[in-house]
Structure 1
Amino acid sequence: MGFPVGRIDLPEAFFELDEPQRDGFFREDILHQIAPLGVGRERIAPNEDLGTLVARFDVRAWEERTGLDREESFAAIPSLPISYEAATPLFEALAGPEVPEGWQGGLPLAYHVGPGPVEVRLVVGTRYSIKTISNVIARLEGDAEPDRWVMVGNHRDAWTYGAVDPSSGTVATLEACRALGEAYRNGWRPRRTLVYASWDAEEYGLVGSTEWAEEHAEELDAKAVLMLNVDSAVSGPDLDLEGIPSLRDLVLDAAADVIDPGSGRPMAALWLEERRKEWAESVPIRLPKLGEAGEGPELPDFSPRLGALGSGSDYTVFVDHLGIPALNVDFAGRYGVYHSIYDDFFWMEKFGDPGFVRHAAAARLYTLILMRAASARVAPLTFSPYGEALEHHLDELREMVARKALAGDAEDEEPPIRFEGLAELAAAVLAFQEQAEALDQATKELNQQDDPPAEVLSRVNDALTRVERAFLIEGGLPDRPFFRHAIYAPGLTTGYASWPMPGVRQAIEENDQELLNQQVPILASRIAAATAAMAEAEEIARGGGR
C-alpha cells in the first residue's frame, strides 16, 4: 500500500525516489522521518494484471490460461527505488530552469528541470521464477448455522521484516483466534462457522486471497456472511474503521466495549468524537434531502460513516468481485517506514507501540467483532447506514458535476458533462433508504423475540446476505471486468483510494457523456435490486413475527 513520491525520468529507465518532503524531514516530525539511505518498496509495476494465476493450474501455461502476455504483465521499463541520499547528487547535477514552486521537494537544494551533464547507468537484476505459495485456512464449526461463514483474514508475507505490515496484524488476529478457542473450550459455541485465513503473496498483488476466493467463489457466494480484513493492525495511535456501511453498527458496538490504551476511554467514543470534529470543520450546509422540496440549504444531521473501501489489501476480491461485506480495522498513523527495512521490531517497540498495548487492544476488538458476528441470531447487517452512505456518495457526484460546469470554458473542445440521470439515481437511493429503515426495524423486532422459529431465522439470514450480492454488475465496471461492485471500487487514478459509485464517477472524471448515460441506469438498477432484496428479507422477518 504505497505510491511513488518522486521520479527522475531517464531515456530508457526511471528511478523511484523516497522524497522527504512528504515525510518527517520536511515537517520536522522525527517519528515519521525516512532515513537518508531508506528505500521503500512502492508500486512500480502494472499490478492490475498480477494475482491472476490459479494454483491448481500449471503456471507455466499461465499465458494460455489468462490470455495475458508475460511481457505486458510485468514492468516494461527497468525501474529501481532509491533513497534520497542516492538521489541527491543526481538532483544537484541537473541544470536548466528552476522547477515551479509546487515541484520543489524537501531536499536542501534548488531543484532544476534539466538537462544536465550527468549520465546514469541503471542495472536492474530482476529474477523471474515460479514459486509455491501457501494459504493457511482454519475453521471453528458453527453450532446452529455451520454453512454460514464469518471470516477473518490477514496476509503473512512481507517485503522485508514487516513488523507493521503484516506482522502486527498476524499477532492480533492469532491472539483473537486463541481467545475464541479458549472460549470454545470453556463452553461457548459460535452460531456460525468462523473461518480464519492466513494469506500468502499479498505483496505481489493480493495473490493468495484472490486465487483462493476465485477457486471457492460458489461456496463463498452461498455461505459467506462477512469478512474482517486485517492488514497492518498497528502503525500508529488512531483507530481507523473502513468497511461496507451495513457493518457500521457491528464494529461501533464492539469498539464501544474496548478501552483505548492511550486515553482510557472507549474506542468508539474517541472515533465518533474525531468524526464529529471533521464533520464540523467541513462546510455543514447541503441542498435539500433527496425527495424534499427545495427550500434552501440547511444544516445536516451528523451521521458517522466508515471509510470507503477501495483496494490494496485482501478484502478486494471479497468486496469488489464477490459482493461480500467486509471491514478493514486498524490503529493507523503516518509511520514513515512503510515497506522498508526499517519496518522492524526495534521501530515497533521504540516508536510504533511501546509496550504493545495497541496490539492487545486490536486483538480485543477483533475478538469481539468475530464473537458477536458469529453468535448473533440475526446476521449483524443493518442497512440504514448504507442508505445514508449512498446519499452522501450521490451528493459527491453531483458536486463534481457542478464544479466541472463552473470550471468550464467557452473555448473547451467538449461541453461540460450533464448529469441527466440524477433524478433517476436520487429516486433509487430514496427508495433504498425507506426500505432499509423498514428492514432494520423488522430484524430488530425479530431479534427481540424470545424464541423465533429456526426456519424463519435461517431464511432471513439467507436473504440478508443477498443484499450485498445484488450490487454486483454482471459484466463488471467499464474496462475492469474483475471489479463488479456498483458502489465500491478503487479509482482508476487514485491507487488504493476508493471511488464510490465507480462507473458513474469514471464517466464524470473523463467527461464522457456517452459513458455517463450508460452507467447511470446500470447503477440505478443495482440499487433497485438491493432494495428488492431488502424487501424480500423484510417480508420473511415480518412473517416470523406473526
Structure 2
Amino acid sequence: MESVRKIFNAAMPSQSYSIYRGVEEEDEAELHIDETPHVVQRTNPKGSGCPISPQYQKFIFIICVAMIVAFILGFVVTRHPCTSCDPIGDYAPDEPFDQDEPIRMDWAELKDLFTKYLSDGQEITEKIRKFSASSHPLGSKQNDDLASIILQTFKEYNLDQTFVESHFVELPFPNRSQRNNLNIVDSSNTSVKQIPIEDEDVYCPYSAIRRVKGGLVYVNYGRQEDFKDLTAWKINVSGALVILRAGKISFAEKVYNAQGAGAIGVLIFPEYGEKPVYGHVHFGTGDPNTPGFPSFNHTQFPSFRSSGLPDIPAQPISLTAAKTLLQRLAGPFASESWRAADFPSHGLGPALSDRDHQVQLEVTNIRQSKELHNVFGTITGRVEPEHYIVVGAQRDSWGPGAAKSGVGTATLLELARTMSMMVHNGFQPRRTIIFVSWDGGDFGSIGATEWLEGYLSMLHLKAATYMSLDTPVLGDDNFIAKASPLFNNLIDTIIKQVDHPLQSKQSIYDYMKVKSTNWRSEVMAPLRKDSSAFAFTAFAGVPALEFSFVENLKPYKFLDTKDDTYQNLNSIMNNRLPSVALSVAQVAGLALIKLSHDHILPLDYTAYNEVLLKHLVNLQTYQDKLKTRGLTFEWLYSARGDYNRATQRLRKAITHSDLHNEKVIQFFNVRIMRVEFYFLSQYVSAIDFPYRHILLGRGEHTLEALMEHLTEDQEDIDDSRLRKQIALFTWTLEGAANALSGEVWEVQRSF
C-alpha cells in the first residue's frame, strides 16, 4: 500500500489554493490560485534491473521528439474547419459557423459614409410635398394608399424585414346629420345669438357627447396655475363653461384641468391665426375603450372606459367666435399677461354682460369602427439583434399635415434608405433598427401606444431606445430636444457636429450657445405629454427622444389646421425648408448611428442623480409639515443616496471591465437600457394608472402628486394618503437603485 501511495504522489503534483476577500470600495471577491507542483526526481532504485545507458536515452528522446513534430505537422496540413459547431460547444449541424468578423468602423468613417449617401435637402422636401398633397386622416383611402407606398418603399430599400400590423378601434367623428353647435341663450333657453363654428369638421376627439349650459370664465391657457390664479381672485369656475387659448399644454391637459376645477364645458380658440385648431382630449394612452390592453383583432375585452376620458364636452372655435364671447364677459378685467394678442380688454366672467344670458354648448360626435395600419421595416443588428433602436413617425393627418406628419414621414424614409445603403457598403449596426410609420397619431398616438400595449411585457427587454420624428420642423430658428434626461450627453455630442440651418459653418450647439446665456434650459425640455415619445417612456419604460426646430417668437400657427400645407410651412421659413429638413435628417441620422453602433449604449444613466437631488431639495421645504405628523423624508433621502451609489458603481464597473468581451458589454447594456423601466411603479395598475413613471407619469404614485398634496393647507392634508404617497415613491426609487446595482446577492452588501 505504501508503494502505491509513493507512485501516486510521484505522478500527481499537489496544488494549494487560497481565497482572499477583497476589501476595496467595490468589495469584489477575487480568487487567487497558487499552483506549486512538487519537484519529483526519478531514479533507478537498487535492485530494479539494468539501468539504461545515457546513449540509449538520448536516442530514444530524439525519436520521441521527431514523432511528435511529425504528428503536429500532419494535423495542421490535413485538418478542416468545423462548420457545424455551436459557439458553446454543442453539436448543431443546421447552424453554420460564421467566420466573418464584424467590420470595425470608427465614428469619423461612419459620419463620412452617412454624409455620402444622405440625400440633399431638395430631395427630402420633394417627399414632404408628396406626403402632404392632401388630407389623409385615419381610415381614409388616402391614408391607406400612403401606408402601401411606405411598405413598398421599405421593400425597395432591401430592408431585412417589412410588415404591417393592423388594429380595429372605435373612434369619435363629427356627426354629419346633427352638427355641434354653440349659442348664447336667455333665461327661457331661447337662442339669442348663434356663435358660428366656422369649420364643422374641426372637433375634439373623445369629448363627452352632451349639451351643457352656464356662465363663461376665461382661463388663459387652462394650466393648473391659471386655475389657481382664478381661485385667488375669488372667481368661481364650478358650474360654468370655460374659454381658453391653445398653446403651452395639450388639449387633453386643458380639459382635464378644467374638469378638475368643476367646469362643465370647454371652448378652445387659437392663440395665433384665425381658424379653429383640431386636437383630441383623451388624457391617457392608446384606445380608451381598452385601456392598458391592445386592440388586436383576435382579442376581446369587456367594455370599460379609460380614466383619462373627460366627462365634459369640448369644442374648438375660431378667433372671431372667441372675440364675440369674450367681449360679453363681465367681472374683473383680465390682466395684460392673460390677454391674447390683439384682444381688447375683457372681463373674466363667469357672468355675461347681460345677466340673463348664458352660453350653451352641444357636442354630438358619433363613434365609428376604423382599421389602422402600422408599417414596419427593420435592419437586423450584427451583435445584439435582440435589442431594438426604434424610430417612428406619424403618418395620418386630419389636414394636409406638412409639419404634423409630412416632414416626419419623409425623414423616416430618408433614414431607412440611407442606413440601408450604409449597411450594403460596410456599416454593421450592433443593434436592430426598426423604422415605423405610425397610424392614428391624431387620436393620441394611438397606433404607437396600441403597439406598446400589445408588447408591454417584453419591450423593456427588447427596446433600448425610441426616437420620435413627429413635428420636427415648426420653424428654423431654435433647436429644442424633448427627451428623457438619459439623452443629454448624446444630444450635446450630435448638435456639435451638425451645422445650424441659418448659419453655415456654425454648429447648432455654437449657434444656440451664442444666442442665449441660458441656452441649455432652452434646448433641453421634458417630453410632451401628448407625444408617442412620452408614451414610450412614461408607459413602457423605454428611453425616448424627440426634437424640433421652432420659431423664436411665435409658434407655427398652421399646426393642426387645414392650412398646414407644404407651401405655408416653406413660406413661414422664407423658403428655407430644404436646409432645415436636411439638418433634421442629419441630427436624427447621427443619433441613430450612435445608438445602434456604440458598444456601450450612449445613455447617461447618472443624469437622474441631479434630477432627483433637485426634487428632494424642493421637498425639503415641506419638512415642518411632516414633523407635525410624525413623518420624515429620511428613507426617501436614503433611497436617493442608494440610487446615486448604484450609478457610480456601474460607471466604475464599466471603466474597469474588459470591453472586448461581448457578454460583458451586453450585460452592461441591458442594465443601462432598463433605467427608465426601473422608474415605473410596480405598485399600481397599468390599467388605472397607465403612466406609471414616478417622475413623468400621473397618479398617486408620482412625485407630482406628492408635491401637490404637500402644498395644500395643513387641515386639508390626508395623513393616510400622504404616508401611502411617500411609500410608493420611496420604494419605487429604492427598487430602481437595487436593479441598477447588480445581482441580488450584491445589493445588501452594496448599501
**Counterpart of 1:430 in structure 2: which amino acid?**
G
Decide whether the 8 Å contact of 2:314 with 2:363 is kept in 1: yes
Decide whether the 8 Å contact of 2:695 with 2:702 is kept in 1: yes
* Residue 326 of structure 1, aligned match among 544, 548, 552: 544
Decide whether the 8 Å contact of 2:595 with 2:601 is kept in 1: yes
* Residue 156 of structure 1, aligned match among 377, 395, 398: 395
Rounded Cα–Cα distance in structure 2 between residues aligned with 1:179 and 1:135: 21
Decide whether the 8 Å contact of 1:439 with 1:537 is kept in 2: no
Structure 1 residues 246-395: aligned runs within 5 Å: 246-264=486-504, 265-271=506-512, 277=518, 306-309=524-527, 311-333=529-551, 334-352=555-573, 354-356=575-577, 357-395=579-617
Decide whether the 8 Å contact of 1:472 with 1:484 is kept in 2: yes
Structure 1 residues 118-517: aligned runs within 5 Å: 124-236=363-475, 237-264=477-504, 265-271=506-512, 277=518, 306-309=524-527, 311-333=529-551, 334-352=555-573, 354-356=575-577, 357-399=579-621, 401=622, 420-446=631-657, 452-476=660-684, 480-489=688-697, 501-509=703-711, 511-517=717-723
Rounded Cα–Cα distance in structure 2 between residues aligned with 1:74 and 1:523: 26
**Greater relative contact order structure (CA < 8 Å, 6+ sep):** 1
Decide whether the 8 Å contact of 1:310 with 1:490 is kept in 2: no
**Counterpart of 1:536 in structure 2: which amino acid?**
G
Q: CA deviation at 1:254?
A: 1.8
> Structure 1 residues 186 and 16 mapped into 2: Cα distance closer, same or farther (>3 Å)?
farther
Structure 1 residues 68-147: aligned runs within 5 Å: 68=305, 77-92=312-327, 94=328, 96-97=330-331, 99-101=333-335, 105-106=340-341, 108-112=343-347, 113=349, 114-116=352-354, 124-147=363-386
Rounded Cα–Cα distance in structure 2 between residues aligned with 1:385 and 1:47: 28
**Counterpart of 1:259 in structure 2: which amino acid?**
D
> Structure 1 residues 423 and 360 mapped into 2: Cα distance closer, same or farther (>3 Å)?
same
Residue by residue, what CA displacement relative to the aligned partner does 1:311-331 show, whole Å, maximum 9, x if unpaired? 210123321122111112222
**Counterpart of 1:457 in structure 2: which amino acid?**
I
Q: CA deviation at 1:15?
A: 8.0
| Structure 1 equivalent of residue 9 of structure 2 | none
> Structure 1 residues 183 and 445 mapped into 2: Cα distance closer, same or farther (>3 Å)?
farther
Decide whether the 8 Å contact of 1:388 with 1:433 is kept in 2: no
Greater helix content: 1
* Residue 284 of structure 2, aligned match among 48, 72, 97: 48
Decide whether the 8 Å contact of 1:244 with 1:327 is kept in 2: yes
Q: CA deviation at 1:261?
A: 1.7
> Structure 1 residues 95 and 464 mapped into 2: Cα distance closer, same or farther (>3 Å)?
closer
Q: Using the TM superposition, name which of 351-360 and 508-517 deviates more.
A: 508-517
**Counterpart of 2:460 in structure 1: which amino acid?**
D
Residue by residue, what CA displacement relative to the aligned partner does 1:301-355 show, whole Å, maximum 9, x if unpaired? xx99943335210123321122111112222332223322232212211114732
Decide whether the 8 Å contact of 1:477 with 1:503 is kept in 2: no
Rounded Cα–Cα distance in structure 2 between residues aligned with 1:268 and 1:419: 49
Rounded Cα–Cα distance in structure 1 between residues aligned with 2:415 and 2:323: 46
> Structure 1 residues 330 and 533 mapped into 2: Cα distance closer, same or farther (>3 Å)?
same
Q: Which of these two proteins has the greater Rg computed from alpha carbons?
A: 2
List gaps (5 residues or longer) in structure 2: 1-203, 206-217, 223-235, 250-269, 747-751
The DSSP-based 3-state class of the residue aligned with 1:187 is: coil
Residue by residue, what CA displacement relative to the aligned partner does 1:4-47 show, whole Å, maximum 9, x if unpaired? 9579x99999686658999xxxxxxxxx97333x111245x444
Decide whether the 8 Å contact of 1:486 with 1:503 is kept in 2: no
**Counterpart of 2:677 in structure 1: which amino acid?**
R
Q: Using the TM superposition, name which of 176-185 and 192-201 deviates more.
A: 176-185
Q: CA deviation at 1:146?
A: 0.5
| Structure 1 equivalent of residue 178 of structure 2 | none
Rounded Cα–Cα distance in structure 2 between residues aligned with 1:388 and 1:256: 23
**Counterpart of 1:99 in structure 2: which amino acid?**
F
The DSSP-based 3-state class of the residue aligned with 1:220 is: helix
> Structure 1 residues 207 and 108 mapped into 2: Cα distance closer, same or farther (>3 Å)?
closer
| Structure 2 equivalent of residue 519 of structure 1 | 725
Q: CA deviation at 1:136?
A: 1.1
Residue by residue, what CA displacement relative to the aligned partner does 1:64-96 show, whole Å, maximum 9, x if unpaired? 25x228xx986655543211212333444x275
The DSSP-based 3-state class of the residue aligned with 1:354 is: coil
Decide whether the 8 Å contact of 1:310 with 1:489 is kept in 2: no
Q: CA deviation at 1:469?
A: 2.2
Residue by residue, what CA displacement relative to the aligned partner does 1:488-531 show, whole Å, maximum 9, x if unpaired? 22589xxxxxx973343343355544333222233222222222
Normalised by the size of structure 2, how large is the TM-score?
0.56
Rounded Cα–Cα distance in structure 1 between residues aligned with 2:732 and 2:321: 51
Rounded Cα–Cα distance in structure 2 between residues aligned with 1:468 and 1:48: 19
Rounded Cα–Cα distance in structure 1 between residues aligned with 2:561 and 2:628: 43
CA RMSD of superposed structures (Å): 4.1
Q: CA deviation at 1:131?
A: 0.7
Rounded Cα–Cα distance in structure 1 between residues aligned with 2:237 and 2:702: 36
Q: Using the TM superposition, name which of 83-92 and 151-160 deviates more.
A: 83-92
The DSSP-based 3-state class of the residue aligned with 2:382 is: coil
Greater strand content: 2
> Structure 1 residues 20 and 425 mapped into 2: Cα distance closer, same or farther (>3 Å)?
closer
Rounded Cα–Cα distance in structure 1 between residues aligned with 2:331 and 2:693: 47
Rounded Cα–Cα distance in structure 1 between residues aligned with 2:710 and 2:620: 10
Q: CA deviation at 1:154?
A: 1.6
Residue by residue, what CA displacement relative to the aligned partner does 1:161-186 show, whole Å, maximum 9, x if unpaired? 22212322222232222221221121
> Structure 1 residues 179 and 508 mapped into 2: Cα distance closer, same or farther (>3 Å)?
farther
The DSSP-based 3-state class of the residue aligned with 2:369 is: coil
The DSSP-based 3-state class of the residue aligned with 2:593 is: helix
Decide whether the 8 Å contact of 2:246 with 2:271 is kept in 1: no
Q: CA deviation at 1:107?
A: 5.2
Percent of aligned pairs with the same amino acid = 21
The DSSP-based 3-state class of the residue aligned with 2:434 is: strand
Q: CA deviation at 1:368?
A: 0.8
Normalised by the size of structure 1, how large is the TM-score?
0.75
**Counterpart of 1:337 in structure 2: which amino acid?**
F
Q: CA deviation at 1:233?
A: 0.3
Decide whether the 8 Å contact of 1:240 with 1:329 is kept in 2: yes
Decide whether the 8 Å contact of 1:17 with 1:84 is kept in 2: no
| Structure 2 equivalent of residue 410 of structure 1 | none
> Structure 1 residues 241 and 347 mapped into 2: Cα distance closer, same or farther (>3 Å)?
same
Residue by residue, what CA displacement relative to the aligned partner does 1:408-456 show, whole Å, maximum 9, x if unpaired? xxxxxxx99979433322232233223323322432454xx6x612222
**Counterpart of 2:611 in structure 1: which amino acid?**
A
Decide whether the 8 Å contact of 2:709 with 2:722 is kept in 1: yes
